[in-house]
Structure 1
């Protein structure tokens, strides 16, 4: 099931310990929510950066990182920080994330408006993709915060 929240902070949602965000495949997390992930989970960032450098993180991939209390899903949605996100990559990475979540008993994942901020895609197109991919995973709650607000 997908729930859309108009505004908020994914890290401050009650009872949520699993998070996802769109990433480029070049190893950069210097702006937007990616920067918050980098600062909050620095060891994850170092591993992500190495995977990118080694060519082990591509469009449509998911790098799942267990931080002890939950999982961070890094979704390969953009080639570089200079390029637009790609809908097909969002679809592929979301599907892989949901398969992993089901296999590992993860029932709730919060994510921002992936691909439509720095990724420059039209949010309605991304939203339709999220809804289409998530429809077969109604046992997993996706909570999408459409506008960041530090509350």
Structure 2
């Protein structure tokens, strides 16, 4: 890796080395050493203020009930602007945390994120589409995640639990959704844990909640 860096420095600075040695009369080996040291110190510099190292975030997977996560973990899922939450895991969020009127009062639009505070945790509602009957896009999902990230960073949230957002009824592909999660959170210290139930257990849980 060090040899590769030195080769890159030499290729990029051949003209600079020539000019300095020709007109400033500085020894070429001394100038080259200065360039190498400068590049090395730049590579070891910490990220800008407010950013975390790229490898400090995490995407973890758990097989189990989302609502069994630690009580101080934030929760997140996707809804529409009309806040209907009449199908899928959204029904369980509505039943457990209520607050539909509170969400509507925030008047969040597609690509934004509504928030409820319940005890020690925040509940994030990613607004990914205008109406419940519509489907989200990868762009609207990313924008709503960016909005959620801003709230997390501003409020010291470092752990979020969520289902496989945008998938299932919303028909997005998890392989692309997981890439978006990495793109959004990789420069933070936020850990995302994705919960999923075996398909049969998930279907049973949904039916039970619909009956209540």
Which TM class, normalised by the smaller chain length? 0.7 to 0.9
User: More relative contact order in 1 or in 2 (CA 8 Å, sep 6+)?
Assistant: 1
CA distance in 2 between partners of 1:15 and 1:67 (Å): 10
1:65 aligns with 2:121: no
Q: Is the 8 A contact 1:27 1:50 kept in 2?
A: no
1:81 aligns with 2:137: no
Q: More displaced, 66-75 or 6-15?
A: 6-15
The one of 96, 100, 103 aligned to 1:48: 103
CA distance in 2 between partners of 1:31 and 1:49 (Å): 18
Structure 1 stretches of 4+ with a deviation exceeding 6 A read: none
More helix per residue: 1 or 2? 2
Give ranges in structure 1 of 5+ residues lacking alignment. none
Give ranges in structure 2 of 5+ residues lacking alignment. 1-56, 203-212
CA distance in 1 between partners of 2:109 and 2:73 (Å): 25
Larger Rg: 2
1:130 aligns with 2:169: no
CA distance in 2 between partners of 1:49 and 1:125 (Å): 29
Q: Is the 8 A contact 2:74 2:122 kept in 1?
A: yes
**Root-mean-square deviation over aligned CA pairs:** 2.0
TM-score (norm 2): 0.62
Match of 2:93?
37
1:95 aligns with 2:179: no
Alignment length (residue pairs)? 145
